[in-house]
Structure 1
Amino acid sequence: MREVSKYGKTVDLAVSSALEELNATVDQVEVTVIERPRGGFLGIGSRKALVSVTLKKTPFDSGIDFLRNLIEKMDISAHIQVSDKSGRICRCQFVGRDVSQLIGRHGQTLNALQYLANLVVNKNSDHRMTLILDAENYRETRKKALISLADRVAERVAKTGKAYRFEPMPSFERKIIHSELAGNSKVKTFSFGEEPRRYVTVALSDN
């Protein structure tokens, strides 16, 4: 957790200065007043207010701590960088020498880590929050591969009339396939199964 100490003519001004440095709002921090301002006599003995302001731990912090402990136990040389944390979505990157080990075949290891981290995040939250993990720009590469695969599968289904079942994948990957084929009048898509084994099936359209 980040903590800063600030002086100010008043407690409010000192807190405001700390919030600006932390890029936070007052409801996201804990404030401790170390010294209250004193006017003194003719300016002699006067002092400014001193406060200590600490960012509260968020559900995302719990998920990130979980991941850090996990990769440490896996003895993998990697660390986590938070690229964006706003509202109910947090985007993180694995960075380091061994990050390829955290991706796995078709991103299965990365997806499993993301799934577990989100269980931790939402266990500590009263509303739905999403932590998105990436490594070596894998998500964008995977998205392009899924779009290409979806188009090939649609062409194959339209030609043979036989439905095609994808391997299980997380909801955000299934959404890529559904979105890509939504405008294809020759095929239709469905999702079946229970998380985390839910999968997409592409079938011939009724049209």
Structure 2
Amino acid sequence: MKSITAKGKTVEDAVIFALEQLHTTREKVDITVMDEGKKGLFGLFGNRLAVVEVTVKKCPIEEAENYLLSVVRGMNVDVKVEKQINGKEVTFQLIGEDIAVLIGKRGTTLNSLQYMTQLVANRYATSYLQITVDAGSYREKRKQILANLAMKVANQVLRTKKEVALEPMPSYERKVIHHVLSKNKQIQTYSAGSEPHRHIVIAPA
């Protein structure tokens, strides 16, 4: 973490000097006034300079990316990370060989990586960031699998008139099921259970 202590005739002068030294802007730092300074008699005697400590804030996206890379490399998987930022939504795409290890059975390992990376990002963020961690475009493939599953189970429910509980899945996967079936007026979907066993139930309307 970059930090500098600066002095100036006024607090503002000290802050400006510190920002110039750190090559950054005011919104990217935390400012602590250590001494507001004092203007002496006739501006000549007893003057005391203002003192501030200016610290560059940690970037939540950079911290999240560094954490993700450290964990993945700790698993002895050589990858590079491409990130896409869309407002408060950030996607980290893992690219490399042996990424199947990072996905795990039905995405369980990837989901854990995403959960922990999101915790790290939001530890430093001033407003909530939605983090997605993907590998080999698994998320899009999984989305299509879930959509097909939703339609298949919905047809079963309509045929048997009996509700069906799906396996537990993370919230963003449950949203896919809800969305796919939202326009089917003969079907209703709702979530049941507690994390990490929360699941969707598909039932006749």
Q: Same fold (TM over 0.5)?
A: yes
Matched, 1:169 2:169: yes
Q: Which amino acid aligns with 1:175?
A: K
Change (3 A) 1:155 1:161: same
After the TM superposition, list the runs of 4 or more consecutive aligned residues in structure 1 that deviate by more than 6 angstroms.
none
- Identity within the alignment, %: 37
In structure 1, what is the Cα distance between the partners aligned to 2:155 and 2:189? 13
Write out per-residue CA displacement over residues 13-33 of structure 1, whole angstroms, 9 at most, x where no aligned residue. xx9xx99xxxxx873589xxx
Shift of 1:101: 0.9
Aligned to 1:65: 66
Aligned to 1:95: 95
Matched, 1:126 2:93: no
Aligned to 1:111: 111
Report if the CA contact (8 A) 1:62-1:120 is conserved: yes
In structure 1, what is the Cα distance between the partners aligned to 2:97 and 2:160? 45
Change (3 A) 1:172 1:75: same
In structure 2, what is the Cα distance between the partners aligned to 1:132 and 1:26? 29
Q: Which amino acid aligns with 2:172?
A: F
Could you say what the CA RMSD is over the residues aligned between the two structures, in angstroms? 2.6
Aligned to 1:150: 150
Write out per-residue CA displacement over residues 2-23 of structure 1, whole angstroms, 9 at most, x where no aligned residue. xxxxxxxxx9xxx9xx99xxxx
Q: What runs of 5+ residues in structure 2 fail to find an aligned partner? A: 2-15, 31-55
Write out per-residue CA displacement over residues 40-69 of structure 1, whole angstroms, 9 at most, x where no aligned residue. xxxxxxxxxxxxxxx953212222221111
Corresponding residue SS for 1:197 = coil
Matched, 1:184 2:191: no
Change (3 A) 1:187 1:86: closer
In structure 1, what is the Cα distance between the partners aligned to 2:27 and 2:125? 15
Corresponding residue SS for 2:125 = coil
In structure 2, what is the Cα distance between the partners aligned to 1:27 and 1:126? 12
Corresponding residue SS for 1:128 = coil
In structure 2, what is the Cα distance between the partners aligned to 1:196 and 1:59? 26
Report if the CA contact (8 A) 2:153-2:164 is conserved: yes
Shift of 1:147: 0.8
In structure 2, what is the Cα distance between the partners aligned to 1:200 and 1:120? 28
Corresponding residue SS for 1:133 = strand
Q: What runs of 5+ residues in structure 1 fail to find an aligned partner? A: 2-10, 20-24, 31-54
Alignment TM-score, normalising by the size of structure 2: 0.70
Q: 1:16-31 alignment to 2 at 5 Å?
A: 27-28=27-28
Change (3 A) 1:126 1:87: same
